[in-house]
Amino acid sequence: MIKTLRAIFEAIAHFQNEQELREALMDTIGNHFGVQHWGISFLDDELLTEIKTLDIPAVCLEANPVGRYVVERHAPTHEQLILSPEDWKNFCTRHEHIMTGPIVCDGRLVGTLNFARDPGSAPFNGNDLADLSALCIHLSAKLATLRAKPKNLSSAVNSLLTARELEIAELVAQGLTNGEIAAKLWITQNSVKQALKRMFRKLGVSARAEMVAKLQDRLIS
């Protein structure tokens, strides 16, 4: 049976925050690549110390040639593309096979996705690298969306909108359609439509984009 990344891509698209992305996705990714050790490391994240990365050497970007390759080129790689097996053993005696890919946002490297296989395991190959490259693209795009998303709107408009309306407003701000909002909240499309009408009336707007803009203006002010 051919392994597919489609389910992983769909899962990435529906995550609502970085913590959820890291914790809920990793087992699925680890199983897909058949690895014993894996992790996501964010270079600028205070929560990094709380996320166990299982001591994967590739997260050390300064002293590891695989890490340096990723830093310099913003491209995924594994150890056999850089060093011979004999040379690699001088850098790592614990993990025989390492593969690392970049997570980028706003034109800079913000993290790495890291995999390791124990001695005796099959090395990573071209298909693994192609899958990692695709996965890093989806993770980077999702991260850019999450970090660009407005902060919680409820603090700015809780006196105007109900809790359910605030949920709908958040989803509208993320670009979801009425049908997608209905499916996510387990309500009918008509309920979403009627809720939006009430929200427009409360906020004095006539369109979704105008509502999102007004909510963001309130948040800034």
Instruction: Convert the pLDDT of each residue in 87-100 to its tens digit.
Output: 777 777 667 788 99
* pLDDT given at position 46: 40
Given the DSSP bridges, would you call strands 108-117 and 97-105 parallel, antiparallel or unpaired? antiparallel
Across the range 28-50, mean pLDDT stands at: 72
pLDDT tens digits along 124-160: 999 999 999 999 999 898 888 877 755 555 455 556 7
Mean pLDDT, all residues of the chain: 78
Q: Which backbone phi and psi does 161 adopt, to 5 degrees?
A: -110, 150
Measured CA distances, 198 to 28, 192, 206 (Å): 41, 10, 11
Contacts of 22 (CB under 8 A, 6+ apart): 40, 51
CA distance 199 to 204: 8
Asked if 135 and 113 touch (Cβ cutoff 8 Å), the reply is: yes
Quick one: DSSP state of residue 112? E
Q: Looking at residue 54, what is its pLDDT?
A: 41
Residue 83: predicted pLDDT:
83
The tens digit of pLDDT for each residue in 157-208 reads 556 788 788 888 888 888 888 998 998 888 889 999 999 999 998 888 888 8
User: Taking residues 8-27, what's their average pLDDT?
Assistant: 77
Percent of the chain surpassing pLDDT 90 = 16
pLDDT of residue 87: 79
Q: Average of pLDDT values for 73-90?
A: 84
Residue 89's contacts (CB-CB under 8 Å, 6 or more residues apart) are none
- Rounded Cα distance between 131 and 19, Å, is 23
N-to-C CA span, the chain: 55
